[in-house]
Amino acid sequence: MTYGVAFPLLAALAGLLLGPAAEFLIARTLPRLGGLPAHKVRITTAAVTALLFGLLAWRFGFSPELPAFFLLALLGVQLSRIDFVLHLLPNPLVLILLGGGVAFLGVAAVVSPAWPELIRGLAGAATLFAGYLILGLISPGSLGMGDVKLAAPLGLYLGYLGWEQVLFGGLLGFVVGGVLTVLMLRLQPKEKPVETAHGPAMFAAAMGVVLVLQ
């Protein structure tokens, strides 16, 4: 890496600051979500955001598409937190993730230039959204419409990188979701029904593919 460890460390610091800032803005603009989470949760989300920012900086370097993937990490962590607790993926945040992704990747396409990547990203968004929509209509008990909507921005980012990323990101979301369900079954008392949010699994799978598959 031409930037060594300094750039990823600076990026991690930015994530450590931006995570709580995003949490505060979400609490102010979407009060129906219940305000700021507990202190331990806020520390955890800030740490995860910082880690992802550092890893993304290591993965992409000082590149035009890096701000877009920072946005993915920032909002993805917050959406995962909200969905895990409330089983809800707020439309405004999903739309910001999608619209911001299109804007940032559009700028990257102009600077790079990377127009084929942007077009593939838009196609990836439509493809993953359509796939999740079909699955949601076939089995509405396993997928919510929030999951279907989240598939669009995740497909955008994965598609920008390649069709292989779209395929693996989409499939691994269900694998991670299955693992989380098993863990919840083991951790919760058997007499309580288990309902596992699928959004965190989708985000974790997509981020794993972004970071590992090149």
Tell me the pLDDT tens digit for each residue of 137-189: 998 777 889 999 999 999 999 999 999 999 999 999 999 888 887 777 777 65
Q: How far apart are CA 183 and CA 53, in angstroms?
A: 27
Q: How far apart are CA 31 and CA 93, in angstroms?
A: 13
* Percentage of residues in the chain having pLDDT higher than 90: 81
Per-residue confidence (pLDDT) for residue 192, from 0 to 100: 54
pLDDT tens for 177-202 read 888 877 777 776 555 555 678 999 99
Per-residue confidence (pLDDT) for residue 1, from 0 to 100: 44
| Residue 164 tokens, joined | 């292989």
Torsion angle of C-alpha atoms 191, 205, 3, 51, degrees rounded to 10: -10
| Preceding omega of 113 cis (within 30 degrees of 0) | yes
By the 8 A CB rule, do 174 and 136 touch?
no
pLDDT tens for 108-125 read 999 999 999 999 999 999
By the 8 A CB rule, do 123 and 158 touch?
no
Helix, strand or coil for residue 1?
A: coil
Mean pLDDT of the chain: 92
* Percentage of residues in the chain having pLDDT higher than 70: 95
pLDDT at 8 over 60: yes
Question: Hey, what amino acid is at 57?
Answer: A
Q: Give the residue from 26, 159, 41, 35 showing the smallest Cα distance to 93.
A: 26
First-to-last CA distance in the chain?
15
Model's pTM, two decimal places? 0.93
